[in-house]
């Protein structure tokens, strides 16, 4: 397509990174999108490319085998991947903004040296907080961890776990002392091969179907003391602070998705003729496209602003909530308008905007619902 996302406020190195990822998306990802969506499965070749390009360890430092870039670069990559396939973007997003981020920030030096090189080069990670009864009330966990001689025994079930089918390493949140409430929550590093651990049902989803979402079964999984991430009883802090950063990633996903919808709509409007001329010549179509473009640019700047505040070590919780909220709003609206511009064709699976419309809905749900983002924003205003 001729229309490209503007590279606003980017350095030369960042522009080069976006251009490289864009080429990969157009040449490698795009031809596989429909088949992956229909099968509900990520093509292993895509995952191999993500590792080879260093995109699964973007801001992991060089000393741990990562690409040594920053959080903003991770956000730019997530955004660009989502332009072509939000499912691929999710895989990269969870790896970088949640799993790698948590280990880099909360892990011991031994944990960093053990896990970060593998995560950057060959293994997928998953973040397991949610349960059947624990959604927006994230800390009403039923998973339990009991102290044993030299370690912990974990029992329970996790639900809605992204990357669960492909992952080898799981960040599992469980409560070591329910009488302490959220202050008993602890994060554990659990490997797929640990006895008692198994992956359960894979969800059959509306959108982002190639991104696996599964149940995890923890049937007395025993891990040693050195698999506690952070301090015992401080898992709530690991969860909250990691998710605050992860929401910027979701905002990036949604902006990328919206940009993809806009590009498809522009190309179609130039090609589709009615009454003897391209529909792009009609003012109704022009204003629809203009609104999409203006809203996407606003959301993009909100995401980049939140990312740079985070990198600068300044408060960013409100800005992260804004980025996720506006990103989800814009993505859903842009995808819907794109379907309408395509007309009847847009309602079929033969054209890509139908998939983007389905993919967009998750932006208002995962890593904090739409309403929860507004409450976070309000809390910042009224503090």
Low-confidence ranges of the chain (pLDDT < 70): 1-8
Contact status, residue 346 vs residue 365, Cβ threshold 8 Å: no
Give the pLDDT score at 151. Answer: 96
Active site residues: 367
Alpha helices in 343-369 (DSSP H): 353-360
Give the pLDDT score at 341. Answer: 98
| CB-based contacts of 113-117 (< 8 A; 24+ apart in sequence) | 113/64, 115/169, 115/189, 116/57, 116/60, 116/64, 116/65, 116/66, 117/64, 117/65, 117/66
Give the pLDDT score at 2. Answer: 41
Give the pLDDT score at 249. Answer: 98
Give the pLDDT score at 6. Answer: 52
DSSP string, 274-318: ETTEEGGGSHHHHHHHHHHHHHHHHHHHHHHHHHHHHHTT---HH
Cα 246 to Cα 248: distance, rounded to the nearest angstrom: 5
Give the pLDDT score at 3. Answer: 44
Give the pLDDT score at 133. Answer: 87
Q: Which residue has 């998939």 as its token pair?
A: 355
Question: What domains can you pick out in the chain, each with its CATH number?
Answer: 12-123 (1.10.540.10), 126-234 (2.40.110.10), 237-382 (1.20.140.10)
Give the pLDDT score at 164. Answer: 97
The residue among 65, 190, 58, 81 whose CA lies nearest residue 128 is 190
Give the pLDDT score at 9. Answer: 74
Give the pLDDT score at 8. Answer: 60
């Amino acid at each position: 397509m001729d229309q490209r996302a503007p590279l606003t406020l980017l350095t030369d190195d960042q522009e080069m990174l976006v251009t490289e990822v864009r080429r990969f998306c157009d040449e490698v990802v795009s031809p596989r999108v429909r088949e992956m969506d229909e099968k509900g499965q990520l093509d292993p070749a895509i995952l191999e490319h993500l590792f080879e390009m260093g995109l699964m360890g973007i801001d992991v430092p060089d000393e741990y085998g990562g690409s040594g870039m920053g959080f903003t670069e991770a956000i730019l990559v997530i955004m660009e991947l989502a332009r072509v396939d939000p499912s691929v973007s999710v895989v990269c997003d969870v790896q970088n903004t949640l799993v790698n981020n948590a280990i880099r920030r909360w892990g011991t030096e031994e944990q960093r040296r053990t896990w970060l090189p593998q995560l950057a080069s060959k293994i997928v990670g998953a973040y397991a907080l949610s349960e059947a009864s624990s959604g927006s009330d994230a800390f009403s966990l039923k998973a339990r961890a009991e102290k044993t001689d030299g370690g912990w025994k974990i029992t329970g079930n996790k639900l809605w776990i992204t990357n669960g089918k492909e992952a080898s390493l799981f960040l599992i949140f469980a409560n070591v002392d329910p009488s302490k409430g959220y202050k008993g929550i602890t994060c554990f590093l659990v490997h797929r091969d640990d006895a008692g651990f198994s992956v359960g049902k894979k969800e059959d989803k509306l959108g982002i179907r190639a991104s696996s979402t599964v149940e995890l079964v923890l049937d007395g999984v025993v891990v040693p003391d050195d698999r506690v991430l952070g301090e015992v009883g401080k898992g709530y802090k690991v969860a909250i602070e990691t998710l605050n950063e992860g929401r910027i990633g979701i905002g990036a996903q949604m902006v990328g998705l919206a940009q993809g919808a806009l590009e498809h709509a522009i190309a179609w409007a130039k090609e589709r003729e009615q009454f003897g001329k391209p529909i792009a010549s009609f003012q109704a179509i022009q204003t629809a496209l203009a609104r999409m473009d203006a809203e996407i640019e606003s959301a993009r700047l909100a995401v980049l602003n939140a990312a740079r505040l985070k990198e600068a070590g300044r408060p960013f919780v409100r800005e992260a909530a804004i980025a996720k909220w506006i990103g989800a709003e814009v993505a859903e609206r842009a995808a819907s308008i794109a379907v309408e511009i395509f007309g009847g064709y847009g309602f079929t699976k033969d054209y890509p905007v139908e998939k983007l419309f389905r993919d967009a809905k998750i932006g208002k749900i995962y890593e904090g619902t739409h309403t929860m983002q507004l409450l976070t924003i309000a809390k910042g205003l009224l503090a």
